[in-house]
Structure 1
Amino acid sequence: MVLLQKFSFNNKQICTLLEILSTQNRKLPSYEYAIQYLNKLNPDSKNSAIKKHTLQNNDYTYDLKIIVAAYNAEDTIEECVDSILNQKTRYSLIVEIIDDGSTDSTKQILNKYTNRHNVIVTSQKNQGFSGARNTGLKTINASYLCFVDSDDILKDCFAEVLLDKAFAKKADIIAGGYQQFDNSGVISEFYYQDKNQFDPYELYGYPWGKIYNSALFTEVTFPVDYWFEDTMLIYLVYDQSHIVCTVKDIVYRYRRNPRGITAISATKLKVIDSLWVTRQLLSDRQKLNLGFNEGIYKVTLQQMCTNFIRFRFLSGQVKRATFVIQRQIINDYFENFRFKENGYLKNIEKAIKSNNYLAFTVYVYTGKF
C-alpha cells in the first residue's frame, strides 16, 4: 500500500489496483464463451444502422429541419420548443417533435404548437431515442438537419450562426460550443475555435449542438434498441463529411439530467449495449464499404476504454469477457494497424494486442501509464 502511494495513486485507484491484482491469474474465457455469456446477461439486438430503404428525397423546401425526440418531458418540453421557435434568423426552419409514447402531459403540451405552419407533432408508441429520431429522419425536406433533446435549450443564435457558416463554406457538419446547466445555473462551458476545416474525429460525440448536411443520412439511421445509439455518428457519419467547420459561439444549452442514461447506466446490465453497438457499427461500416483508417482506429481504441469505464461497476467476469471480445474486434478490423503516437492509447493498444488483460485494466482505470 505504501509503495503504491509513493507512485501518487489515490486511495480509490489503489483499491482498483488491488482488485485487479487479486484476479490477475484468472483465465480469460474463449471468444465464443464471452459472446454467449454477455448475450445471456444482455442480448445483443443486432439492429443495423443501415437504412432498409435509401432516402431519395432531395426536395429541400427549408434550410434546416430540427428533430426533437420527447418522452415524458412535461417539465421541459415547452421551454425547449419555445427556444426553437424564438430563433433570431432569416433562414427557414421546419420542426418535427416526436412524442415517443409519453405517459405524462407531454402530448397535451405539444398540442398548442400543432397550428404553427412550421411545426409537425408526431405521436407514436414508445421506441426509444433511436426510434423517435428515426421517425424524424423518414422525411427530410431541408438542406440541413439537427437533433435537439427535449430537456435542452437552443441559444437564439443557433440557426443563424451555424447556417451562415454552413452555406458560406458548403460544409457538411458545423458544430458550436455549449453550456452544461442544471437548476442551480451554469455548470460548465465548452468552446470550439472558429475553424473552416476541423478534424471530424475531434468532434464531441453527442448528436446535438451541431447541424448536418441532410445527405449524410441518405443511407444510415440510428440503430434501435441500443443504449448509446448516437455512437453511430462517429462511425458512420463524421468521417463521411468533406468539410467540417466549427464556430466559437455557444449555441446550445445542455441540461444535466440526473435520470438520464449517462447517470443511471453504470449498474445496469443494459450498459453492455456500449460494447454491442460498437461491434454492430463496425460491421455496418464494412458493409457500406466505408473503409478503415487511422482515424477510425484511434476512435475505436478510445471507444474500448469508454466501454470499460462504463462497465466499472459490473463483475470481473463481465469485464474479462468484454476484453476478449474487444481484442477480437481489433483482430478482425485493425490487425495490421499500429498507433503511431506514444502515450495512453499506445499502451492500450499494446495491452490489447498482447492479450494482457491486467495491463489493459490498469491503463484504463488509472490513466497513470
Structure 2
Amino acid sequence: MNKYLFKLTHISLLQFCMVFLQKLSFNNKQICTLLETFSTQNRRLPNYEQAIQYLDKLNPDSQNSAIKACTLEDNNYHYDLKIIVAAYNAASTIEECISSILNQKTKYSLLVEIVDDGSTDKTKQLLKKYTNNDNVIVTSQKNQGFSGARNTGLKIINAKYLCFVDSDDLLEDCFAETLLDKAFAEQADIVAGGYQQFNHSGVISEFDYQNKNEFNPYELYGYPWGKIYRVDLFNRIDFPEDYWFEDTMLIYLIYGQSQTTCTVADLVYRYRSNQNGITAIAATKPKAIDSLWVTRQLLFDRKKLGLDFNEEIYKVTLQQICTNFIRCRFLGGQVQRAVFVVQQQLINDYFENSELKEDGYLKMIEKAIKSNNYLAFTVYAYSTAA
C-alpha cells in the first residue's frame, strides 16, 4: 500500500490526466490534442542553461569519460575466456554464483577474477576458499561501485574473450562452451545467449534469441551479462564511473565497434531479480538523473572515438531519451521538463540532420522533440513504457 501511496503523491497532474484519458480509451493523438488545449506545460519549459543548472544542482554530473587513459596491456592470451565477477555484500549468493562458473562443462580454458568491491559482510572471508584455484584471481579493493569493480577486472585480460557475471546470478553449465563455439566458428566480436529471470519463488520470465550468425548489435539487450566479447572491443573503453546506469556504455561504445555479432538459441544465463537493486529503487532518487548524464557523456565519447552517428544509433538514442525521461517520472514535473530540454539539445548537437524514414512511435517522438512539443513527447514516451 505504501508503494501506491508514494506513486499517488509524486505523480504529476499531467501524468494523472494522461492515465485517466487512456483508461477512457482515448488514443495518443486525441490525448495530445486535449492536453494541449488545457495545459500550460509547453509554455513553462526552461531554457537549456536553466535546465542544466537545475538538474546539476539536484544531482551533479560526474562527467567521467568511458575512454581509458591508456590501452589494455599487451596480452599473451593464455585463456580462451576471462570471467569478471563484481561482488559487493554478496555473502548470500556468491558461493552459488562461483560454483556455477567453476562447474562449466567445456573444453575451453577459463580465467575467473572475482573483485570484492569493499564488502562489509562476509563476502571477503567466503572468497578466501577460492584463492588456491589456479584459474581464479580474488581481488579486494575499496568500494568503487559496479563500474570500478568491473574496470579492475578489465586492467589485465590475458584471454581472447571476456564476459561479466553479477555476483547474485548463475551461469548454465553450457555457457562457456556454447558461446565460445559460436565465437571461434564465426570469428565473432560478440556472442549473446538467452537468459532466465528468477527469484526465491521460481522462474519469472525467459528471453531467448534465434541462432544467427549475423545479428544487429543494437538489438541486443543492454545488460553486460549473458554475452561474451572479443577483448579488443575494450581496448580503449572502461565502464564510466560514479554513474548509475553505466551499462548504457555497451550500447554507445561497444556494440558500435562490433563487425560480427552472433546469437545462440540456448539459455545460458540465470538473472536473479533484485528488489533492492538500482533499477528497482532508482525512480525515487535524484540519482536517477544519471540516466541522462551518462547518455550525454557517452555521446561525447562516441564522437571522440570517431564512431558513426548513423540511423541505428539515432534510433537507439530516441529510445534512450524516452527511457531517461521515464526513469525520472517520480522526481516531479520540473525535473522532467528540464530533462526534456537537455535531451532536445543532445538531438540537435549530434543528430541535427537525421530524420527517420518510417512511421511509428519513434517518428512521433522525433516530431515532438523537433517541434518543441513537451506534451506530445510525454504521451508517446509513456506509451513506449506501457
Please give the range of the TM-score, normalised by the shorter of the 2 chains: over 0.9
Shift of 1:80: 0.3
In structure 2, the residue matched to 1:137 is 154
Report the secondary structure of 2:44's partner residue.
coil
1:347-362 to structure 2, matched below 5 A, reads 347-362=364-379
Corresponding residue for residue 25 of structure 2: 7
- Cα deviation for residue 86 of structure 1 reads 0.2
Percent identity (aligned)? 75
CA distance in 1, matches of 2:364, 2:93: 44
In the other structure, the counterpart of 2:237 is 220
Alignment RMSD (CA, Å): 2.0
Match of 1:49 among 66, 86, 100: 66
Name the counterpart of 2:96.
79
User: For residue 25 of structure 2, what is the amino acid of its counterpart?
Assistant: F
Q: Which residue of 1 aligns with 2:322?
A: 305
Aligned residue in 2 for 1:197: 214
Matched, 1:183 2:183: no
Query: Which secondary structure state, in structure 1, belongs to the residue aligned with residue 137 of structure 2?
Result: strand
Any stretches of 5+ residues in structure 2 without a counterpart?
1-16
The C-alpha deviation readout for 1:163-216, integer Å capped at 9, x for no partner, is 000000000000000000000011111010000000001000000000000000
Aligned equivalents of 1:359 and 1:22: distance in 2?
12
Aligned to 1:336, what secondary structure does the other structure show?
A: coil
**Which of 341, 346, 362 is 2:363 aligned to?**
346
- Quick one: distance in 1 between partners of 2:64 and 2:142? 19
Local SS of the residue matching 1:104: coil
Separation (CA, whole Å) in 2 of partners of 1:20 and 1:225: 42
How far 1:239 moved relative to its partner? Answer: 1.7
Shift of 1:55: 1.4
**TM-score with structure 1 setting the length:** 0.95
Q: Which residue of 2 aligns with 1:254?
A: 271
Q: Is the Cα contact below 8 Å between 1:327 and 1:353 reproduced in 2? A: yes
The residue type equivalent to 2:280 in the other structure is A
Q: C-alpha separation between the residues in 2 aligned to 1:319 and 1:342?
A: 25
3-state SS in 2 of match to 1:366: helix
Equivalent residue number for residue 90 of structure 1: 107
- What code does the residue aligned with 2:339 have? T
1:295 matched residue in structure 2: 312
For the 8 Å contact 2:365–2:380, the answer to whether it is kept is: yes
Give the deviation of 1:226 after TM superposition.
0.2
Number of equivalent positions: 364
In the alignment, residue 335 of structure 1 is paired with which amino acid? E
**What is the TM-score of this pair, normalised by structure 2?**
0.91
| 1:236 counterpart residue number | 253
How big is the shift at 1:291? 2.3
Q: Is the 8 A contact 2:233 2:257 kept in 1?
A: yes
Deviations 1:80-103, CA, capped at 9 Å, x for gaps: 000000000000000000000000
Unaligned runs of 5+ in 1: none
Q: Distance in 2 between matches of 1:53 and 1:20?
A: 55
Q: Deviations over 1:269-304 (max 9, x none)?
A: 000000000000000011111121111100000000
Structure 1 residue runs of 4 or more that deviate by more than 4 Å after TM superposition: 1-6, 17-23
- Among 271, 285, 290, the residue aligned to 2:302: 285
Which residue number corresponds to residue 158 of structure 1? 175
- SS at structure 2 position matched to 1:211: strand
